[in-house]
């Protein structure tokens, strides 16, 4: 099965499970207070928006890779993984004041429209907190053996801390010009943490041999870097049609994706002056965005960032090959890293 078919098949299983999960959550909340029910309904709409479900699919595929059978237990964990991922996105949207997410409004925007900005922002912060608690709850009630549950809770906790540390740096770098080393410090806790959590969760619960856990951690780290760099390139270089929303958001906010950090090192003085004037300016018109993109191309920063992504994708594949996962699962992660590498060519 090719990557697209696999993702579609597994994500539809996860989406079905999310539906059942939120139905019972709604029943429970309805007995508590109408405003809590309303809040959970908004959370449900946000989490259930159409997406690739890469996070939970990674967990399911790793689990199967070590002989696990897809059943209620692992699907409950997959629900936890999806809600975990969204708990991070809710706070990310809020801190960045992003108004949309996957083709819909971000949660703080939905709440602010009804309750005003202060209450709306507070409500979405609390819903983000609740989502994280729900994700742990889903894991804890999955029915796996206690020793393994404890290890997975450890993973979720470590990852949540690291992702939030990364978020702090991501915010502060808006006002700074970080080095490549600092970019890696920041990114080492971001997508890398997420892939580590999703893949190692599947491995622990699937009963992977101990030596494979470490190999998977390395694989996940490199998948994370490859993905992170590619994802940021998309934000700058995709057309609105390819991206589904307005490109250039990171640049407008003064974010420092790797291709920008590299340009700060590779660019000429004249370029840097223009970049500093335009970056973080807030509204960028089409022409200004083109100027920035041209500078990123001309300085060699775009190509250098792509080369980094490809390097990590290659390392990821090497580590995946070293695991004892079944062929089908290996193929999924290999296809996924190939997809990242190939898709880089679409953005110039």
Residue numbers at the binding site for its own copies (CB under 8 A): 32-33, 35-36, 39, 91, 94-97, 115, 118-119, 121-123, 125-130, 132-134, 136-137, 140, 146-147, 149-150, 153-154, 157-158, 160-161, 164-165, 167-169, 171-172, 174-175, 182, 185-186
123/229 with CB nearer its own copies: 123
Q: Is 71 helix (H, G, I), strand (E, B) or coil?
A: coil
CA distance 259 to 264: 9
171/274 with CB nearer its own copies: 171
9/33 with CB nearer its own copies: 33
Residue 71 Cβ vs its own copies, minimum distance, rounded to whole Å: 21
57/79 with CB nearer its own copies: 79
Residue 238 Cβ vs its own copies, minimum distance, rounded to whole Å: 25
Residue 200 Cβ vs its own copies, minimum distance, rounded to whole Å: 16
Backbone angles phi, psi at 104, to 5 degrees: -135, 180
28/214 with CB nearer its own copies: 28
Residue 304 Cβ vs its own copies, minimum distance, rounded to whole Å: 23
Residue 221 Cβ vs its own copies, minimum distance, rounded to whole Å: 16
1/172 with CB nearer its own copies: 172
DSSP 8-state assignment for residue 344: G
DSSP 8-state assignment for residue 124: H
Residue 31 Cβ vs its own copies, minimum distance, rounded to whole Å: 10
* Cβ atoms within 10 Å of 197's Cβ, excluding its own: 26
Residue 100 Cβ vs its own copies, minimum distance, rounded to whole Å: 18
Residue 204 Cβ vs its own copies, minimum distance, rounded to whole Å: 14
70/172 with CB nearer its own copies: 172
List the one residue out of 169, 171, 170, 228 whose CA is nearest residue 194.
228
60/163 with CB nearer its own copies: 163
CA angle 313, 318, 324 (to 5 degrees): 125
Residue 156 Cβ vs its own copies, minimum distance, rounded to whole Å: 9
31/286 with CB nearer its own copies: 31
CA distance 85 to 203: 18
């Amino acid at each position: 099965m090719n990557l697209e078919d696999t993702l579609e098949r597994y994500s539809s299983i996860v989406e079905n499970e999310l539906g059942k999960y939120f139905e019972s959550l709604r029943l429970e909340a309805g007995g508590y207070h109408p405003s809590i029910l309303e809040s959970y309904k908004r959370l449900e709409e946000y989490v259930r928006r159409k997406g690739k479900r890469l996070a939970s699919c990674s967990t399911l595929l790793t689990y199967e890779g070590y002989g696990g059978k897809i059943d209620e237990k692992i699907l409950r964990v997959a629900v936890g993984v999806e809600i975990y991922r969204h708990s991070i996105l809710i706070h990310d949207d809020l801190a960045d004041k992003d108004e949309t997410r996957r083709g819909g409004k971000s949660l703080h925007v939905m709440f602010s429209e009804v309750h005003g900005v202060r209450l709306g922002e507070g409500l979405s912060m609390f819903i983000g907190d609740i989502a994280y608690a729900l994700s742990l709850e889903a894991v804890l009630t999955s029915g796996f053996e206690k020793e393994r549950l404890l290890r997975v809770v450890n993973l979720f906790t470590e990852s949540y801390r690291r992702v939030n540390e990364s978020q702090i740096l991501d915010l502060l770098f808006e006002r700074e010009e970080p080095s490549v080393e600092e970019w890696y410090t920041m990114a080492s806790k971001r997508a890398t943490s997420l892939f580590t959590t999703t893949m190692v969760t599947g491995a622990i619960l699937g009963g992977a041999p101990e030596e494979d856990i470490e190999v998977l951690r390395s694989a996940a780290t490199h998948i994370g870097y490859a993905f992170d760099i590619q994802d940021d390139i998309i934000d700058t270089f995709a057309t609105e049609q390819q991206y589904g929303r307005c490109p250039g958001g990171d640049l407008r906010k003064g974010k420092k994706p790797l291709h920008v950090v590299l340009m700060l090192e590779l660019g000429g003085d004249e370029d840097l002056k223009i970049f500093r004037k335009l970056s973080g300016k807030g509204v960028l018109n089409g022409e200004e965005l083109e100027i920035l993109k041209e500078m990123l191309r001309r300085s060699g920063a775009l190509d250098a960032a792509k080369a980094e992504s490809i390097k990590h994708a290659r390392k990821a594949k090497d580590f995946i090959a070293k695991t004892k996962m079944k062929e089908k699962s290996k193929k999924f992660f290999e296809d996924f890293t190939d997809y990242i590498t190939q898709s880089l060519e679409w953005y110039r």
